[in-house]
Structures are given as C-alpha cells and as structure tokens.
Amino acid sequence: MTSALRGIDPSRYVVHVGFLLIFALFAVVLKDDGFLTSTNLLNIAQQTAPVTVMAVGMVFVFTAGEIDLSIGSVVAISALIAATVMREYAWPLAVVAGLGTGIGIGLLNGALVAYARLPSFLVTLATMGLLAGVARWLTNLQSVPITQNLFNNLFGAGRLAGIPSLVFWTVAVVGIGHFIHRETRFGAHVHATGDNARAARAIGIRIEQVRLAVLVISATTAALAGLLYAGRLHGARYTLGETDLLTVIAAVIVGGTHLNGGIGTVTGALIGSLLMGMLNNGLILMGLSVSEQMMVRGLIILAAVALTLREPNR
C-alpha cells in the first residue's frame, strides 16, 4: 500500500462503488422504463426516507457495539399514538407525543442495557415483541386516519420548491447525525465504547451514559420514521415499519458500519439505504416478480456484506 493510501480502508468504499455500478447498470438497462427520470429518482429518495432516518440511529447503536431490534415496533406505536392524538388535538402536540413515545422506549431499552447490564439483543428483542402487541391492542388492529393536512404535508406528501418534504427530513437527519457521530466528543465516546468498553471506562468515559444515549437516539429516529410514514399515508396502522428492521440493518452494514462496534459512518448508511431503495425500484421496473426481487436483493446484500466485512488479518 502506498503511503498516500495508508489509513484508508478500501472496504469502506465498497458501498459507494457498488452504488455507482448498480446506478449505471439500471440507467442503461432501464433507460426506456423511466428509471432516470427526476420523478422516479425523487420517488426513490422519498420512499427510502424512513429507512434512512432509522439507519442513522442504528449507526450510533452499532458503533457503540449494541443492536436495536425494536425499531420496527417503535415506528408503528409512535405513528399510532401521533395519529390518535391528532383526532382530538393539534398536530404539534401529536408530534411531541409521537417523538416522546420513542424517547420513552429508548430510555427503557437503554436503562435495561446500560444499568441492568442486559444484552441489547435480548432487551430489544423483548421490547420488539411487547410493543408489537401493544400496537395491535391499542387500536384493535384498526388503522387511524390523519386529516390534518399541514401534518401530512410537513411529514409526508408535501413539497417545497419541487422537493418532497421527506427529502428535507432525510437531509436534516443525515446532516445532524453525521456531525454528532463524526465531529463531537460524544461521537468519539460512542466509537471508543464500541471498540473497547473496558479501555473507555478506564480512561473515564461514562460508558453507561453512552449506551443509554445510543438506544434513545435509535428509538427517536424510529419514532420520527413513524411520523414520516403516517404523513405520507395520511394515517397510521400497526403494520407500519414491520419489515424495515432487516432493510435498516442491511443498509447500515452495507454502508461500512461494523456490527461489532468501533467503526461506522452515517454517510455510508445513507448510501446503503439509497442502494436498497434503488434496488427495490429497479427490480420492479425490470418486471421481476416479488419472489425474484427478494432473491436478487438477498444475493446483492450478501455480496456487499462479504466485500465490506472481510476483516483484514484476522
């Protein structure tokens, strides 16, 4: 390796190269199917918004060496609570209630992991199931429509200067997330905690607070994703977010974040999420059946993960 490349981990850029390759492939193959139209590209960005937002939260969790399986259930329950509040009250209160629900669940997950010292895998597996049940029970499996149009425009279907509001949300969350993760002391402590928790503790980093914080961040992004779904669909339903967990994890890992902690990037997760959305979109335009889509997507994720996670010298 030349000295200019020292310290640059080539596996970190697999996702960028992969993204460009698949984009180029679709652009050529699907030229006549409208892949490259601005409508379609904005559509991809819009559809991936909730997954991208959750992926940003998950980058923090993975970097700290933890995992959050409960995000899908948080999406549903926050959206349902926000929609229910909006039946009686103005939408800002519903937003506070929805996000507050996420923060509360994050605090619960975080306290059990950080202070009761339970593994995050088991804690969030349990809360995932628990909250999925609560979401079903809360509304008797009924969907809750949202008729406050300002909310629907702000969090979902609205546009400003031709750009969908969901794109603004994505940019904001990715930008803030990237800054905190990469440029702040807290971000450095998240990395150190996931890399070597004992060393971090010995040096005086409060690793319990770090673990609590990352799970709160993750649940909060999931709650925001719930609001984005609710805004786009003009209502909430217990099925929201049901299938997102694996997509989020795939996006984050394909984006170069390590499941074992210590290494992660928010921008990589953004590209990973867009890649997932683009695959979805392209495979549909290609006319593949749902089962074919699932198989192709699985193979591509497998290839990307294999390329990204091959550990050097270990």
Partner 1 sequence: MTTPVLALEGVRKEFGGVVAIERIDLELHAGEIVALVGDNGAGKSTLVKIIAGIHPPTSGRIMMDGSPISFPNPRAAQEHGIQVVYQDLALADQQPVYMNMFLGSELVTGPFRRLNRKRMIAETETLVRELDVRIPSAKATIRELSGGQRQGVAIARATHRARKLVLMDEPTAALGVAETMRVEAIIRSLKERALAILLISHSLDQVFRLADRICVLRHGVQIGVKRSSETSSNEIVAMITGLA
Q: Is 176 in the site for partner 1 (CB under 8 A)?
A: no
Instruction: State the minimum distance, in angstroms, from the CB of residue 309 to partner 1.
Output: 13
Q: Is 118 in the site for partner 1 (CB under 8 A)?
A: no
Q: Is 190 in the site for partner 1 (CB under 8 A)?
A: no
Which backbone phi and psi does 119 adopt, to 5 degrees?
-65, 135
Region near partner 1 per CB under 8 A, out of 84-92, 95-103, 203-211, 225-233? 203-211
Residue with tokens 């593949």: 288
Among 79, 190, 200, 212, binds partner 1 (CB under 8 A): 200
Among 263, 266, 269, 278, binds partner 1 (CB under 8 A): 263
Helices marked H in 30-162 — which ranges? 38-63, 71-88, 91-114, 120-138, 149-152
Among 161, 204, 243, 287, binds partner 1 (CB under 8 A): 204
Can you tell me the distance from the alpha carbon of 100 to that of 219, in angstroms, rounded to the nearest whole number? 10
Beta strands 159-160 and 163-164 are antiparallel
CB 217 within 8 A of CB 210: no
Q: Which amino acid is at 135?
A: A
Among 160, 199, 294, 306, binds partner 1 (CB under 8 A): 199
Binders of partner 1 among 9-28, rule CB under 8 A? none
Among 188, 259, 288, 307, binds partner 1 (CB under 8 A): 188
State whether residue 145 is helix, strand or coil: strand
Q: Is 211 in the site for partner 1 (CB under 8 A)?
A: no
Region near partner 1 per CB under 8 A, out of 122-130, 177-185, 220-228, 232-240? 177-185
Sign of CA dihedral 222, 252, 127, 184: negative
Burial status of residue 159 (CB atoms within 10 A of its CB: 0-12, 13-18, 19 or more): middle
Can you tell me the distance from the alpha carbon of 158 to that of 193, in angstroms, rounded to the nearest whole number? 40
Q: If residue 204 lies in a helix (H) or strand (E), which one and from where to where?
A: none
Count of residues near partner 1 by CB under 8 A? 23
Instruction: State the minimum distance, in angstroms, from the CB of residue 6 to partner 1.
Output: 7
Binding site for partner 1 (CB under 8 A): 6-7, 179, 183-185, 187-189, 191-192, 195-196, 198-200, 202-205, 258, 262-263
